A and B are shown apart, each in its own frame.
Chain A
């Protein structure tokens, strides 16, 4: 716990950015920040670093998944000696055609893959777009929420009626939503509203 006479540590600032401090640790830290310009500047830098690193890690992970899939396909031995492997390839092709026909029939029953939506903090953020008819994987920016966990989350429609609720973590899986405007809200367990993000679901 920082004393007023000390500047905040990098760890404290980072945990504050990540929303990982309890109220007991958060109170003296915020009181210090009220008066200390040096630590406010350092917090701004830390915010910037954490946000950029999080987004870059996400981008890289997604690109890496694709690269890995391409690499697996490219490293298959049948690419080098395909004449000798023609029969298995034909069988595989036949299986793919069958699977396509089967999945076409089952498409109405099969669950589509979740769509990842990144919801950033209220300041300066445009409503996050998402497609209708697909489950949503909400990636919540909880920067600056330091009231201690757990939080509770809910999704309301434009008229404020609740359409879904979920336990809050870095990510949350939601059922598919109809097209329209929604708001994702984060509450304290006591019910106090802490943050709200706009979400637009399009056809």
Chain B
């Protein structure tokens, strides 16, 4: 891949970028963020907000950085007096009809209008007229409200629906300063990926009803995670307020989801905040479950595993981490083992403007990880095997009853009725409470990070199961999910050469051609 590199200078910093790169992107390499509104790397260039005006030597007029391609020897100055003054004037024009209702606006704190006005706007207004433009709030769709008064008409939402979602229901209606974002009179903004317009909106004009007035942006703690909604493995950020997940937003990963997530994934977080969690290990005592400490519970499992002979079965949730799946299999390594995972199917919904991006029918964030570790998607075979198994291990929420003549161990977040006959119940962390990895449908191993503490005595699976494995096999208890992954990479071919460090924030693919281990 011999790419032609172009050398240019941006604010005095020399950069070399591939030919065809836009100045606004090249500037990022020089550590310069050119203020902008309409430009978004995931959308076609519009060049309408005129905010990214910069000075380019030997050009008669200021140029918009979002639509100007780099050229050899170009000298860009984003801080030239005339460029700054032009941008300041754009901000002034944007503000004359803006309500400045930041105190009641959800976008405040993460608003690009606020940010850039703070950075380079005028201190006062010269708009002496009394009335500002007013239009009432409109209900655009199941989760989207449009507040036209705050709109700066950057058209990101219009372009997303037209060019990315390929369902052009939004437009710019009217002209001049009467313009607003219009919606087709017979349509709703109910596309399966429509929620992205809320993220794309640089101001508080398109709002999520789900998040409406829930939190101020500066109260949110943000954690990198992976969506559990399906097998696509979209990268997301979990936004938490006081250890409660209040919002899921896309995190860019050009290999997986670019800048977008679907509405199914976006709404798929409430279970992370469930209050009916198992908060202590439980052991069966005289026919009922009673709370125990971890040592007692783990000893019970150890005794149970050591005392049993014959077959063992693990039935896992597709949301179980690769680490948990690996450990629970290793735990039962001396048995004739059958593993299965529950694969729930739903409706698929593609984002037509982005290749290989869809809400997948397989609602299994780690189905591929499970398969690579020897778990089958044929749940019935595992359920059947469980009937005659000596030990059955249920990993996290398995929504179908499992009957067995042997001993049942349940490790998970909430206790289903059908698991109440378990010998031991181990309280585990959910995806927001632990570090771990999922393998998406394309074999990409992606990390997710702990966003909040576990409730009560619950532990991440890598710890609880890691300690169990140490009890059974000898050896040390892992002190981080990373160590479990290290063991996994060392023993399962598909994961060879991978490590948490190598995965980073955007993940890496498993070894090509690596099959399911024997």
Chains A and B bind each other: no
Which residues of A approach B to under 8 Å, CB–CB?
none
